[in-house]
Chain A
């Protein structure tokens, strides 16, 4: 059984390495994610952000403007996840809560 585990692990690893050979290099101008137009002619998000981030919100840090404005929904979700973790800790471990239910 162990042999099957290890062989499947190695095979999947080799498969992943083989798949990674087909990925474009970082900053490759010919890669689809770095072009200005996608295959159907619509603007690609990353080049739009790079060209318009400073114009749109006067913020030199492009990471902040993407996280805080263009992708604000994602940040809201992250914050709700952290808040949920805190609430769950509170509900599971808080002492007053336990004495109330008893």
Chain B
């Protein structure tokens, strides 16, 4: 059984730090076109901000932030975003994952490809975040049994 810390200082500090880590994770994902970073790194940071609350608070509190039962379905949804972008391009006449066939005609071809990269990075970030949290949750449950 996991013992949550009794100290209010730890809970307060992690409550203060967690949103900033989450914001920086979102920045790393969405600024991946211009600076080092991308879906995997940003997803790991989002997972870190969620796990910080999970370590310091008790179950009743962290279930409010991110429900345990959402872990695996959201991860599958992240993989599905990546796969769906590739499949949409294929159904519209291109190769699998050939982004400039995506239905966004108001932009130039190069911009459509950049947008396709952004879409798949969001999918990767979502999947990495939820899977890391899911591994933590499941390990905790296995410990109880």
Contact across chains for A90 and B138 when beta carbons are under 8 A apart? yes
Interface SS of chain A: helix
Interface centre among B71, B83, B117 (most CB of A within 10 A): B117
Contact across chains for A86 and B142 when beta carbons are under 8 A apart? no
Give the nearest-CB partner of B43 in chain A: A82
Number of A-B contacts (CB under 8 A): 107
Binds B, one of A12-20, A33-41, A71-79: A71-79
Contact across chains for B145 and A65 when beta carbons are under 8 A apart? no
Contact across chains for A64 and B38 when beta carbons are under 8 A apart? yes
Give the nearest-CB partner of B116 in chain A: A69
Contact across chains for B114 and A83 when beta carbons are under 8 A apart? no
Q: From known contacts A93-B138, A94-B141, A95-B141, infer whether A56 and B75 are also in contact, taking CB-CB under 8 Å.
A: no
Chain A interface size band reads: 20 to 34
A58-91: contact bitstring with B at CB < 8 Å (1 yes, 0 no)? Answer: 1111011101110011011011101101110110
Given contacts A61-B33, A83-B75, 10 further A-B contacts (CB under 8 A): A56-B113, A60-B34, A69-B117, A79-B78, A87-B72, A89-B138, A90-B71, A93-B142, A95-B145, A98-B145
